[in-house]
Chain A
Amino acid sequence: MNAESSAWERRSAVRVVPPVRPRKLAKVPFVELADGRLQGVVSSGSDIERVYVSSFTAGTHSYSCSTNNNRPCGALPSGSSPCKHLHALAAEAVLQYGVDRVARYLRVDLDDGASSGADLVGGMNGQVERAPAATVFSRFLRHLNYLEIPDTTTPIPEMHWFPALGAVR
């Protein structure tokens, strides 16, 4: 171990989670790298009440897309290629996390110069494989629930461990 990382290990207020980059949330309100998948929620283009739960699995690159009520996405019969919801998911994940981090998580080998969600989808060659939508959807609801919790004006001294750090400018 070099001196720099040993000094880092002896600091209290350091960045551990890489920053998330801002992106438009209207089409794909939720994206995460979790449970061994790139998974997220894509709002339906036609029905404001409906959302799709889409995912790519790390390693096997199998993919899945269904409504939150577990009805399979109509545009995804077995043997076909990823639907537009999956493409939107990949594109937004690349905006949010950067292509390298997503590719590393999914274990996709990308050519130098690959930069877009389309490059990422093109680098995978998986099959349709239904993944449970309910878990991801409930994680999305849990995510939304943060915005329902009231704010507080009682100080939280523990937040001194979490300084707002500048974006990678």
Chain B
Amino acid sequence: MLAVNLSELLDGPIPGVEEALDLIAGFDDALVHGLGRLGEDRAAALSALAGALAAGPLGVRAGEAAEKIAAGSVAAEHLSVLAGGRAALFGAVHDALLDRLDAALGRTRAPWEASPSADSPVADNLLAGCRSWLHELAIAGWRGVDHDLVSAADQTIEALLAAPDLRRTAVLLDGLAAELRASCPTATMERLPARRWADLWARALLLSQPGAPAGTPQPAATVSGRLLVLGVDVHEHGTAVQIQVHAVLEPADGGTARLVRASVAAPKVDTIVGPALWRLLQWHPVLLGALAEHRGLNITDLPLLDSGDLVWHDDHAEAGEPADPFATARVLLGGALAPAVPPLDRHPVRISEPVLVEGYTATADGGAVTFDLGGRSLAVDVERLPTCGPLTPELVAASTACIGLVRWDGGGWALQPLAVQATVKRKPVTAHNGDWALGPTDPKVVKAEAKAGDSVAVLRERAGRLLRR
């Protein structure tokens, strides 16, 4: 990303976005206080949301849902329609933001083509359990959540986790329930993550509709070729971790290079943190080796979803030649084709476009870091540096080149660093999020890890002894 790209990205507000977000905020506020007792203002906020959808396919049903809920009758179908309406508004916001970003970066994106959705049998009783819990939450409102209401989801979540097809729903509900539990009693919370919890609630409700959810990623092709890693993004809550590797695929058949991702997600517990997280992903040694050793990968017949996600099989990949992610970013990122976004995934939180930024002046002010690029300033999200890697806010502030993901949240753009080239004590230093994928390389961290013991091994030993009795 050059100064000219940044300046185009930040060039004034995007028409309609603020208005859409205000409508969403009105709905989110109704959910804070509960749909069971809407006042006049909040009933008006629901009608306003429905009004914005009037010209679309959800229009009539959304209007009816808002009216019925205002009259005090909160039926399951009404909630689903409003959750869908909220998602549709956010989908439009997502598209506007991504269009702006693509235009600013000069990035070409593949058009969305619906793949036939595989009809897999779904455990409808489990999904009904999810919907009914989400229904109770909506009626009580976030302010009305107590321990009993949170615990009511325990059994459903446990059963969801055991069903591989429903992992998305399981991981999402588990994360939401843990936050609600930690926040009880919510009535006295000073500030409440209204946008976030409404996001999670609405997505969960859409994922738990009867039948297979439409608009989720489907297999589109199998691909072979050379995979060159740009960096790795790490996601984590108390009981789940996911790594998402961003890479450029050079197809073996010589087609256009394309941006792809490969993900591994593993269940965990809250006491497994820091570099130990990588040990939960150890069944994918070829992928982890490529991250730690900065190597390319040769892949053969890997399924590629229509979302641009490779479904990783470690035995379909082998380690290739050394490949510097900064070189990949300099040479290949500009011309790579970006993937389309499946309909259900269209939410601004998912925007995570890899970019290379250089030629900036980094400024640290208090805890915040910004990159000044040709007079425009780009916020750097230095909170978003995982504890399982070597990047620190200090290193980012001392950097001269950065591979990162452009993200958008709370009304603004920010850069999430994945790798930096920096100068520390007049020596060049390079650090990538994935450097410790095969174990930490910093002697201080190695020592601390050795002292703390292997948390994963300790808990697996306890599980082996106590679980199978």
Instruction: State the A residues within 8 Å of B (CB).
Output: 1, 5, 7-26, 29, 31, 34-35, 43, 48-49, 51, 96, 140-167, 169
Give the Cβ gap from A117 to chain B, nearest Cβ, in Å. Answer: 16
User: Is the pair A166, B384 in contact by a Cβ cutoff of 8 Å?
Assistant: yes
Which residues of B lie under 8 Å from residue A153 when comparing CB positions? 262-265, 284, 311-313
Q: Is the interface of A mostly helix, strand, loop or mixed?
A: loop
B358 within 8 A of A: no
User: Is the pair A155, B458 in contact by a Cβ cutoff of 8 Å?
Assistant: no
Task: Give which listed residue, A21, A96, A143, A152, contacts B164 with CB less than 8 A.
Answer: A152
Chain B, residues 36-49, CB within 8 Å of chain A (1/0): the string is: 00000000000000
Q: How far is the CA of A163 from the CA of B232 in the complex (A)?
A: 12
Q: How far is the CA of A25 from the CA of B276 in the complex (A)?
A: 13
Q: How far is the CA of A5 from the CA of B410 in the complex (A)?
A: 11
Chain B, residues 176-195, CB within 8 Å of chain A (1/0): the string is: 00110111000000111111
Q: How far is the CA of A50 from the CA of B191 in the complex (A)?
A: 43
Which residues of A lie under 8 Å from residue B352 when comparing CB positions? 160
Chain B residue nearest to A142 (CB atoms) is: B158
Given A24-B453, A145-B463, A166 contacting B382 (CB threshold 8 A): yes
Which residues of chain B in 196-240 are interfacial with respect to chain A, using CB atoms and an 8 Å cutoff?
196, 199-200, 203, 207, 217, 234-240
Which residues of chain B in 155-180 are interfacial with respect to chain A, using CB atoms and an 8 Å cutoff?
158, 161-162, 164, 167-168, 171-172, 175, 178-179
Which residues of A lie under 8 Å from residue B383 when comparing CB positions? 15, 165-166
B281 within 8 A of A: yes
B411 within 8 A of A: yes
Instruction: State the B residues within 8 Å of A (CB).
Output: 21, 25, 147, 158, 161-162, 164, 167-168, 171-172, 175, 178-179, 181-183, 190-196, 199-200, 203, 207, 217, 234-242, 244, 261-271, 273-274, 276, 280-281, 283-284, 305, 307, 309, 311-313, 345, 347-350, 352, 382-388, 392-393, 407, 409-411, 416, 452-453, 455-456, 458-460, 462-463, 465-467
Which of B234, B237, B283, B452 has the largest number of chain A CB atoms within 10 A? Answer: B237
User: Is the pair A156, B168 in contact by a Cβ cutoff of 8 Å?
Assistant: yes
Chain A residue nearest to B454 (CB atoms) is: A25
Chain B residue nearest to A154 (CB atoms) is: B311
Q: How far is the CA of A152 from the CA of B305 in the complex (A)?
A: 15
User: Is the pair B271, A162 in contact by a Cβ cutoff of 8 Å?
Assistant: no
Which residues of B lie under 8 Å from residue A5 when comparing CB positions? 190-191
Task: Give which listed residue, B271, B345, B459, B465, contacts A157 with CB less than 8 A.
Answer: B345
Give the Cβ gap from B286 to chain A, nearest Cβ, in Å. Answer: 12
Give the Cβ gap from A163 to chain B, nearest Cβ, in Å. Answer: 5
User: Is the pair A155, B309 in contact by a Cβ cutoff of 8 Å?
Assistant: yes
Q: How far is the CA of A166 from the CA of B280 in the complex (A)?
A: 19
User: Is the pair A144, B236 in contact by a Cβ cutoff of 8 Å?
Assistant: no
Chain A residue nearest to B25 (CB atoms) is: A10
**A/B interface sample: 18 pairs, CB < 8 A:** A7-B411, A8-B193, A9-B195, A10-B194, A11-B193, A15-B383, A20-B273, A21-B273, A96-B271, A140-B466, A143-B269, A151-B267, A152-B264, A154-B263, A155-B244, A159-B240, A166-B387, A166-B392
Which residues of B lie under 8 Å from residue A15 when comparing CB positions? 383
Chain B residue nearest to A149 (CB atoms) is: B267
Given A11-B410, A12-B196, A159 contacting B459 (CB threshold 8 A): no
Given A26-B453, A153-B311, A156-B171, A10 contacting B195 (CB threshold 8 A): yes
Known A14-B196, A158-B172, A166-B385; 5 more pairs at CB < 8 Å: A25-B453, A35-B147, A143-B269, A144-B269, A144-B467
Task: Give which listed residue, A31, A158, A164, A167, contacts B241 with CB less than 8 A.
Answer: A164
Given A16-B179, A162-B236, A166-B384, A155 contacting B25 (CB threshold 8 A): no
Chain B residue nearest to A140 (CB atoms) is: B466
User: Is the pair B162, A149 in contact by a Cβ cutoff of 8 Å?
Assistant: yes
